[in-house]
Structure 1
Amino acid sequence: MAKNALQAQLLKAGLVDAKKAKKINQQQQHAIKTGHNEDDVKQALAAAQAEKLARDQALNRERQHALELKTQAANIRQMLSQHQIKDTSGDVTYQFIDAGKIKKIYVTQEVYDQIVKGRIAIARLDEHYPLLPRALADKIAERAPEVIVIRNEKTVPQQGIDEDDPYAAYVIPDDLMW
């Protein structure tokens, strides 16, 4: 029943029973008939494991990136809600464009002047527009520039004014009301 000497010795010693030896022989015969040997199977298994590992790592990277984006958005929302300037409602209307639509907020004259000068910025938080100090708006703009709606820069007057311009004496104010 045993085809090689090692199997015969294992059977004699009682380490392997006859059923197991027969099963191993059948597997060897099947591998010979089908042309598969153990090395090919091991290589295919190793390749499949490597491919699965690569897929798992890519999926893990995507999940980690999504988690980082979610965490960053939560941090920005928290900064906006905690550090917004309170008690800004007043009678003066400040109008601005957000997503192609004209929006308006009612602020005090002091706040209006600070928005125009660039000391206060306007951000978007869901359907609301919180007012933020300039330093915080700059930090948020580094992480998520789409959140900041208005962040006026201090304008430097143009040096090259044309002398022949008949309207040179008429300066357009920065805080022109619509």
Structure 2
Amino acid sequence: MAKNALQAQLLKAGLVDSKKAKKLNKQSQHAKRTGDTKSIEAKKALAAAQAKQREKDQLLNQEKQRALEEKTLTANIIQMIKQHQITDTQGEVTYQFVDDTKIKKIHITQKLYDQVVAGHVVIARLEDSYALLPRPLADRINEKQEGFVVVANDTSDSELAEDDPYAAYVIPDDLMW
């Protein structure tokens, strides 16, 4: 009693006897019920590969999400700067400052110049130009993301060391160069 055509042909040709055919039949049925060892190993390998791919995809998604959040934060900060920048800045006084390794200058009013020197107004980078911002806003921006504030003069003299021999000599920070 052969189950398939191949077994029937092998029996007719005399290459396999009926006992061996039954034994092979039982083995194949047993393998189907219990699961073939080769297929189990293949399934395990496939599951491991899928888990590794899922982990890789999750890491990639997290990286993309971080990049998107960073981009969103930068856009929000630029919008804050545009909304809250001091608009009436054109004047005849030149304020020079260092941005990266280059000396830059902006023309501002005397009142704004005094406020920048005192630390009440901050110079921030706005795309290709610079904007003047109130100090509290600049501090909030700097907490969220650094790199926008270019000039933020310190408002307190708490940095002076107590044992500094030159503490009595005041160095002016508003020199015109």
The interval holding the TM-score normalised by the smaller chain is 0.7 to 0.9
With normalisation by structure 2, the TM-score equals: 0.74
Q: CA RMSD in A?
A: 2.5
Instruction: Say whether 1:104 aligns with 2:115.
Output: no
- Give, in whole Å, the separation in 1 of the partners of 2:149 and 2:164: 32
Paired residue for 2:18?
none
1:122-133 correspondence runs (5 A): 122-133=123-134
CA positional deviation for 1:63: 0.8
Paired residue for 2:137?
136
Paired residue for 2:171?
172
1:33-72 correspondence runs (5 A): 37-72=38-73
Is the partner of 2:94 in helix, strand or coil?
A: strand
Is the partner of 1:124 in helix, strand or coil?
A: strand
Paired residue for 1:75?
76
Give structure 2 stretches of 5+ with no counterpart: 5-24
CA positional deviation for 1:45: 1.4
- Give, in whole Å, the separation in 2 of the partners of 1:91 and 1:160: 41
Query: In the alignment, residue 105 of structure 2 is paired with which amino acid?
Result: K
Is the partner of 1:61 in helix, strand or coil?
A: helix
CA positional deviation for 1:174: 2.4
Give structure 1 stretches of 5+ with no counterpart: 4-24
Is the partner of 1:129 in helix, strand or coil?
A: strand
Say how many residue pairs are matched. Answer: 146
CA positional deviation for 1:107: 0.6
- Give, in whole Å, the separation in 1 of the partners of 2:170 and 2:125: 32
Query: In the alignment, residue 91 of structure 2 is paired with which amino acid?
Result: G
What percentage of aligned pairs have identical amino acids?
A: 53
- Give, in whole Å, the separation in 1 of the partners of 2:171 and 2:57: 60
Inter-CA distance 67–161: structure 2 relative to 1 (3 Å threshold): closer
Paired residue for 1:21?
none
Inter-CA distance 45–89: structure 2 relative to 1 (3 Å threshold): same
Is the partner of 2:146 in helix, strand or coil?
A: coil
Is the partner of 1:123 in helix, strand or coil?
A: strand
Alpha-carbon deviations, 1:107-143, whole Å to 9, x = none? 1110000001100000011221100000110011112
Instruction: Say whether 1:151 aligns with 2:160.
Output: no
- Give, in whole Å, the separation in 2 of the partners of 1:113 and 1:145: 25
Query: In the alignment, residue 71 of structure 1 is paired with which amino acid?
Result: T
Query: In the alignment, residue 58 of structure 1 is paired with which amino acid?
Result: L
- Give, in whole Å, the separation in 2 of the partners of 1:38 and 1:161: 79
CA positional deviation for 1:172: 2.6
Query: In the alignment, residue 91 of structure 1 is paired with which amino acid?
Result: E
